[in-house]
Structure 1
Amino acid sequence: MTVLEISAGDTAWVLVSAAMVLLMTPGLAFFYGGMVRAKSVLNMLMMSITTMGIVGVLWVVVGYSMAFGDSIGGFLGNPLEFLFMAGVMDPELATFTVPAAVFAGFQAAFAIIAVALISGAVADRMKFSAWAVFAAVWALLVYFPAAHWVFSFDGGTAESGGFIANDIAAIDFAGGTAIHINAGAAALALALVLGPRLGFGRTPMRPHNLTLVMLGAGLLWFGWFGFNAGSALGANATAGVAWVNTLAGAAAAMLAWLAVERLRDGHATSLGAASGIVAGLVGITPAAHSVSPLGALIIGVLSGVACAFAIGLKTRLGYDDSLDVVGVHLVGGLVGTLAIGFLADPDSPAGVAGLLYGGGVDQLWRQALGAGAVLVYSFVVTLVIAKVLDVAMGLRVPEAAETQGIDTAEHAETGYDLSHVGYSTYGVRQTLIVPTPREDVQA
């Protein structure tokens, strides 16, 4: 960690951004919760919300140290260096121009939502206890190392950092690889081990509450300005560029997705609008500070179109990614990460030229190698974790529980108490109070 002069303005901005990113996980809970059937909504909400507790504790104990401690071979931060966040309270130690504790809190919110994203792939059928164990193990073995590879720069929080950030020099401003490709690859592996839902491909499994979906998408879009612009780690021009590009990417992707729906299906849907927003946000995340606003619009269109078509892959290939984590986060993350190799603008804060700006293929191969490393590592390790947990404790609820509804089976609750509907009120004493007319208004 480097001793620098702390900026009050930068500190305030990163604290606000951290709160915005943390709000994204409840937003994700609503987004996912509205997309499942009514009998699964509480379980979907619980998977996101409890992830805040599981990963929050792990981050304080060892996660921050594994991600941002002094590097062991470029692969992992020293788990003991900041164990229980030792030394992070020192007011003279700063990461860039914000206190170390502020940076640690900001990155904690990233870790939480990265794990929560995976839950959308296993909706309706995964044991809650199995999810809790999986979330903890996956954070320790997959997310914390990947965050070190991508976000830990030499001389930042420690003397040496991760190999993707420093040796490969791939650009990932706010987590296209470490978060979205990472979670998307893990979602695919976990869905393959779990198997499809009962009736997948035969029984309609429509979203039960599109109002919740739209609310969740709105919260995600709001929080994403903290996600991307906050990653500038300062109230500066880079944050401004990232903010504008985040707006442009999401807006263009939403319109592109709706256009695909209108041309392909004859209708532009609210679910499509919400999904398009998220696809654009995913796509622009790695490129937020390395492309121009025009580049952000192009990435948004590419992400919206690619993800709108990619969600159909699960039907053709036979894997059941319930809420399209693979189609949106893996595909959108790949589009945005690789697009940097073509669209990086030398006039942007990143100062790197992509292929279309005369930079050749130098940045493109770096982007491809960084994305591929995270994708392969996440998929393989997640597959192993899922197989081991399936043998050790079983990942899936019984068929009867899945048919009845996972909310009742796993939580003994339902999302909507409609027990009074259809019951007579006969026998319930009611008192009708008739007000006495005032004398001044009588005939």
Structure 2
Amino acid sequence: MTPVTLAAAGLDTGDTAWLLAATALVLLMTPGLALFYGGMVRSKSVLNMLMMSFVSIALVTVVWLVAGYSLAFGDDVFAGLIGNLDHVGMAGIGPGTLTGSVPTLLFTTFQLTFAIITAALISGAVADRMKFAAWLVLVPVWTLLVYVPVAHWVWGPGGWIAHSLGALDFAGGLVVEITCGASGLALALVVGPRIGFKKDAMRPHNLPMVMLGAGLLWFGWLGFNGGSALGANGLAAASLLNTLVAGSTGLLGWLFVEQKRDGHPTTFGAASGAVAGLVAITPACGTVSILGGAVVGLAAGAVCSYAVGWKFRFDYDDSLDVVGVHFVGGVVGTLLIGLFATATMTGGKEGLLYGGGPGQLARQAVAVLAVAAYTFLVTYGIGKAIDKLMGVRASTEEELTGLDQTVHAESAYDHGVLGHAAPQALALSTPHSKNRSPAT
């Protein structure tokens, strides 16, 4: 959207208040993701996992305000591929500048939170083994070369996917989910598998942390999708309800597959299924009915529960299933718009099952293929370039010891309490100390 001044349009305080709240909700998703991912890795690298998410907030914020926003949402300068540089450093945008009915500074911040979590999501594919220094280089470069162009294609003025192709993506199935999933696959191939992949058990070290992170993600997702209406209106309400419904059916779909396949519905499956449903409804929440939203979530929960096993079959180590959940879930949700889109939500376009013919489904498929191919190839190239420059893989010693100690010189837990007696505890347990106060 091109910014306008207050003289050309009026500020809507209701829309502004809702988008302020939604922006805070979306920002909370990145700390929620840090907990979600942190609980999924082994205890020796949990702090590194948390740091990869938190440092993404800082890195993407700087890049976005310097040039990212202008390139993504500035007026198109070349064939729907990229925006201009008129607003480098947020030049020309002040408190009185509006985008639609809300301040442009708020719209900028809302979109910034999307860019932040998209970058952070990629870290799950390379957990336990990527150099932290390489991650610090990757995030800003990737944001400018991958996220920003795709955001312009889909949401920017004159972007080719929205305006020339006519594909629909309400809140980020293409921009966020497919982009982070394809990037995760590319980086997993560049970095290579973890030591012991397909041989050693690499179970989540803290399932309560995983569940807490999933809950925070679900909470934030209400702002992620509902806020994408950019107003306090019926479309925001419908998108928010679709988000709740799809997360629920995604959870149920995953648990049904687990029960049938493995004989046990798990907490890890519940968290993963909810996230899969939320991923899939992201592009569709503003285009499908509540029934359509339920089907989208259910389909994603079931499909993604099988897709997470593909890494063992095709031999790529996507540590925390960014490909299996975010890429596959994003593809499911984006394609199902072509079946379930309804004019009641879109204002005109309809899917195949609502009498719209196969055209919208074809447009959605072209958009998926274009974004996935561009993202994979560019991310792979960035990863290879960084590898030649400084290396992307932690050393064998660092990986075996754990990145928390070797990179950050910290430990998430007192391992003596978790199973190995600490020196003080050993001293207090000896006969010589039986009359000693624990305080001494």
Give 1:417's match in structure 2, choosing from 402, 405, 414: 414
- 1:106 maps onto 2:103 in alignment: no
What SS does the aligned partner of 2:344 have? coil
Give 1:335's aligned amino acid: V
What SS does the aligned partner of 2:238 have? helix
What SS does the aligned partner of 1:136 have? helix
| Deviations, residues 386-440 of structure 1 (Å, cap 9, x unaligned) | 11111110000111111111111111111112357442234996499xxxxxxxx
Where does 1:400-415 land on structure 2 (aligned, <5 Å)? 400-415=397-412
Gapped runs of 5+ residues in structure 1? 154-160, 433-443
Report the equivalent of 2:286: 289
Report the equivalent of 2:36: 31
Q: Distance in 1 between matches of 2:356 and 2:224?
A: 28
Give 2:221's match in structure 1, choosing from 214, 219, 224: 224
Report the equivalent of 1:201: 198
Report the equivalent of 2:342: 345
Q: Distance in 2 between matches of 1:256 and 1:32?
A: 22
Report the equivalent of 2:71: 66
Report the equivalent of 2:136: 132
Report the equivalent of 1:440: none
Q: Distance in 1 between matches of 2:298 and 2:162?
A: 27
| Deviations, residues 292-338 of structure 1 (Å, cap 9, x unaligned) | 00000100111001100000000000000000000000000000000
| Deviations, residues 46-69 of structure 1 (Å, cap 9, x unaligned) | 000000000011111111111111
- CA shift, 1:358, in A, is 0.7
What SS does the aligned partner of 2:410 have? coil
Q: Distance in 2 between matches of 1:428 and 1:77?
A: 75
- CA shift, 1:76, in A, is 0.9
Give 1:383's match in structure 2, choosing from 380, 389, 401: 380
Report the equivalent of 1:53: 58
- 1:89 maps onto 2:94 in alignment: yes
Q: Distance in 2 between matches of 1:8 and 1:121?
A: 41
Q: What is the RMSD computed on CA atoms of the aligned residues?
A: 1.4
Q: Distance in 2 between matches of 1:16 and 1:211?
A: 27
Report the equivalent of 2:15: 10
Report the equivalent of 2:165: 168
| Deviations, residues 225-259 of structure 1 (Å, cap 9, x unaligned) | 00000000000000011011101111001000000
Q: Distance in 2 between matches of 1:419 and 1:268?
A: 32
Q: Distance in 2 between matches of 1:349 and 1:31?
A: 33
Give 1:14's aligned amino acid: L
Q: Distance in 2 between matches of 1:265 and 1:50?
A: 38
What SS does the aligned partner of 1:347 have? helix
- CA shift, 1:362, in A, is 1.4
TM-score normalized by the length of structure 2: 0.94
Give 2:28's aligned amino acid: L
Q: Distance in 2 between matches of 1:186 and 1:313?
A: 17
Give 1:82's aligned amino acid: H
Report the equivalent of 1:436: none
Give 2:371's match in structure 1, choosing from 352, 371, 374: 374
Give 1:217's aligned amino acid: A
Q: Distance in 1 between matches of 2:342 and 2:261?
A: 34
Q: Distance in 1 between matches of 2:119 and 2:434?
A: 52
Report the equivalent of 2:239: 242
Give 2:103's aligned amino acid: P
Q: Distance in 2 between matches of 1:25 and 1:90?
A: 26
C-alpha contact 1:20 1:226 (8 A) present in aligned 2 = yes
What SS does the aligned partner of 2:285 have? coil
- CA shift, 1:163, in A, is 0.8
Give 2:34's aligned amino acid: A
Give 2:273's match in structure 1, choosing from 273, 276, 291: 276
**What is the percent sequence identity of the aligned residues?**
55
What SS does the aligned partner of 2:193 have? coil
Stretch moving more, 356-365 or 308-317: 356-365
Report the equivalent of 2:81: 75
Give 2:220's aligned amino acid: G
Give 1:191's match in structure 2, choosing from 188, 193, 210: 188
Give 2:123's aligned amino acid: S
Give 1:233's match in structure 2, choosing from 230, 234, 240: 230
C-alpha contact 1:289 1:350 (8 A) present in aligned 2 = no
What SS does the aligned partner of 1:76 have? coil
| Deviations, residues 78-108 of structure 1 (Å, cap 9, x unaligned) | 1x211111122140x2111101111001000
C-alpha contact 1:290 1:351 (8 A) present in aligned 2 = no
Give 1:250's aligned amino acid: G
C-alpha contact 1:284 1:299 (8 A) present in aligned 2 = yes
TM-score normalized by the length of structure 1: 0.93
Give 1:55's aligned amino acid: V
Change (3 A) 1:431 1:290: closer
Give 2:373's aligned amino acid: V
Report the equivalent of 1:156: none
Q: Distance in 1 between matches of 2:303 and 2:281?
A: 14
Q: Distance in 2 between matches of 1:241 and 1:431?
A: 59
| Deviations, residues 96-129 of structure 1 (Å, cap 9, x unaligned) | 1101111001000000001000000000000000
Q: Distance in 1 between matches of 2:250 and 2:349?
A: 24
- 1:302 maps onto 2:299 in alignment: yes
What SS does the aligned partner of 1:94 have? strand
Gapped runs of 5+ residues in structure 2? none
Change (3 A) 1:130 1:353: same
Q: Distance in 1 between matches of 2:346 and 2:230?
A: 13
Report the equivalent of 2:333: 336
Stretch moving more, 255-264 or 415-424: 415-424
Q: Distance in 2 between matches of 1:428 and 1:248?
A: 61
Stretch moving more, 58-67 or 323-332: 58-67
